[in-house]
Structure 1
Amino acid sequence: MGYFNDVTKEEEKSGGNGINSRRVNVYNECMDFCNLIDLGFSGPKFTWTNCRDISDLIQQRLDKVWVNSDWKLIYPEATVSHLARISSDHCPFLLSLDPNLGPRRSRLFRFQPMWLSHDGFPSIVREAWEGNNQDVCLAVEIFTQKGKAWNKEVFDNIFWKKRNLTARLLGVEQALANNPSQRLIDIHNFLSGELEKILALEEELWGMKARINWLIQGEHNTSFFHTTALVRRSRNCIAGIMDPIGNWIVDIDRVKEIFLMGFVKLYSSD
């Protein structure tokens, strides 16, 4: 968090000489290697200016907040706001760990491809459609309700199961190191197989959330998918908007009002 003295892409600089592509590539490669996420921002686009007249004016986004995926999981709603620049060539920024973005809307129901790999899924579909073949809307509604409940029971526990199996494997391995036996080997093999299933489901879950052609990757890279999904979630979050006269609005009620006025104006007849 702070002043990094360089940009990550051409759009982060205005005026002056063009960006140094080699330095930008090294900068981005370093951030990628460290699995860091640019937290983004709301407010003015640039954080630094040379304070010159328009003919010599240079502006850049040199100040950023970089976080890793673990930090992002702890503070999923964190936002960065660029504040007004006062008596400085840099603007201050405000990191809000839990901003008041209003009540969270309930998540939309989405079909998850990983459900197809579970033996219990066909029965969920069958129960939803039995006797409702002529009423598609009712069948879909029943499937949605059953799917949500089944998903929470079976798949929402993926991360808990992963932690549990990992802890049990560690205990077995410690026991094997102290007093090896065939029984412990069999238990270890069983737990390893169960953990492989959970890891495959986790990889598919994050791959689906990342919305990329993840099969091309050809390897277990859950951290990559996880980070990609978190970046996408951050980019989809609207923490503030600019009103018609150029002011940044972050109050959730005012944001709603501006959106409403915009659509009313758009669809009003002349």
Structure 2
Amino acid sequence: MDEFNRWIHQGRLIEMNSQGRKFSWCNGQHELSRAWAKLNRVLLDAKLLIAFLNARCLYLSRSTSDNSPMFIEFLKDLFTYGPSPFRFQQMWIEHPDFMSFVQMVWYEPMVGTGLMKLASKLKKLKVALREWNKRVFGQTNTQIAILEEKVEGLEHSLHSNWDNEVERALVRYSTELSTWRRREDIRLAQMAKIKWRMEGDRNSKYFHIWLSNKRHRKIHKLRSTDGLEFNSPEEIHLGAVEYFSEFLQRSNQQRELPDLKNLISPVIEEEDCVWLSCIP
């Protein structure tokens, strides 16, 4: 058993989350002689888990065997419907042109005053940052793959024939590759809500695994107090909106307020009090 556990640890295998029955085996006995256990498990490596973030294992009902059949399912991400929300990326801050770009967008003249002007500036900055992110950063994984290919090609060239220009190019691309890898680590750590940094070349895999575990904790089904079931993200979304809309409408009904005049000292004039009580 120790050797098997070492093999799991050395292979960096991860147990797949299971659904359905809690135990996978039963001895088939009756009353106090009956025994249950979870003997059957599914182990995945990091590459497969990254490729199929929503993979799950279902324990089905037992029939002729002591063991429950295991059904492994690979699902698409059902929570990707609708427009993606805007997220501020921490890796943007490290770019030398970030602050100047924000200032350029922020100081553009806007029509309006007060909070309306502030809201317009924030909305315009959000759109501009999205476009700037696509233009400057693009897909970090794609940039990393391109740089890795360049570094590998330059290293092969130096193995066969050393050249000073090739050496300088290798140093330049290696530095740029390190920068892009750090940006990807920052992006993944922010998505996984990890506030600390890991050192080593396995950061990305660890963050992907962390994110996949977070995905499994999402609400996939919901049942209301009146027995109505919601079985998809869209239904859960609409059900929550409908519930809280009705709840807030009930809460905002007109009701008689207590008379607290005796608790308030008359330190201002009645006319000033009327002005203070007016709707802005």
What TM-score, normalized by structure 1, do the two folds share? 0.71
- Residues 145 and 46 of structure 1, relative CA distance in 2, 3 Å threshold: farther
**Could you report, residue by residue, the CA deviation over 1:17-46 in whole angstroms, capped at 9, with x for unpaired residues?**
xxxxxx79x84x754543333331332322
Which residue of 2 is the match for residue 6 of structure 1? Answer: none
Shift in Å at residue 232 of structure 1? Answer: 2.2
**Aligned to 1:129, which of 87, 93, 106?**
106
| Distance 1:48-1:77 versus aligned 2 partners, 3 A rule | same
Q: Pick one of 51, 60, 70 that aligns with 1:93.
A: 70
Kindly indicate whether residue 232 of structure 2 is the aligned counterpart of residue 252 of structure 1: yes
2:91 is the counterpart of 1:109:
no
Moved over 6 A (4+): none
Aligned 1:149-168 pairs, distance under 5 A: 149-168=131-150
Q: 2:91·2:187 contact (CA, 8 Å) conserved in 1?
A: yes
Match 1:60 to one of 14, 37, 43? 37
Q: In the alignment, does 2:159 pair up with 1:147?
A: no
Amino acid across the alignment from 1:37: I
Q: Residues of 2 paired with 1:191 and 1:174: CA distance?
A: 14
What's 1:205 paired with? 187
Contact 1:77 1:98 in 2 (8 A): yes
Is the alpha carbon distance of 1:53 and 1:228 closer, same or farther for their aligned partners in structure 2, counting shifts above 3 Å?
A: same
Indicate how the Cα distance of structure 1 residues 213 and 51 shifts in structure 2: closer, same or farther if over 3 A, else same: farther
From 84, 101, 107, the counterpart of 2:61: 84
2:59–2:68 Cα contact (<8 Å) kept? yes
Distance 1:111 1:260, change over 3 A: closer
Cα gap change, 1:100/1:208 in structure 2, threshold over 3 Å: closer, same or farther?
closer
Q: Note if contact 1:37-1:231 (Cα within 8 Å) is conserved in structure 2.
A: no
**Letter in structure 2 aligned against 1:208:** Q
Deviation of the 1:261 alpha carbon: 11
Larger RCO, structures 1/2 (Cα 8 Å, 6+ apart): 1
Report the structure number with the largest CA radius of gyration.
Answer: 2
Change in Cα spacing, 1:32 to 1:106, as seen in structure 2 (3 Å) is: farther
**Do the aligned partners of 1:79 and 1:97 also contact (CA within 8 Å) in 2?**
yes
CA contact (8 A) 1:128 1:140 kept: no
Where 1:64 maps in the other structure, the secondary structure is: coil
Q: Is the 8 A contact 1:49 1:59 kept in 2?
A: yes
Task: Tell me the TM-score normalized by structure 2.
Answer: 0.69
Match of 2:13 among 36, 44, 47: 36
Q: Deviations over 1:79-104 (max 9, x none)?
A: 33332222332222322223584862
Counterparts of 1:161 and 1:111, CA distance in 2: 20
Q: CA deviation at 1:117?
A: 0.4
Query: Identity of aligned pairs, percent?
Result: 21
- Once the two structures are superposed, what CA deviation does each residue of 1:181-214 show, in whole Å capped at 9, x if it has no partner? 1111111111111111112112222222232232
State the alpha-carbon separation in 1 of the partners of residues 181 and 23 from structure 2. 41
What CA distance in whole angstroms lies between the structure 2 residues aligned with 1:257 and 1:166? Answer: 42
Cα distance in structure 1, aligned partners of 2:35 and 2:234: 33
Gaps of at least 5 residues in structure 1 are 1-22
Distance 2:120 2:143 in 1: 34
CA distance in 2, matches of 1:58, 1:79: 25
CA RMSD of aligned residues (A): 3.9
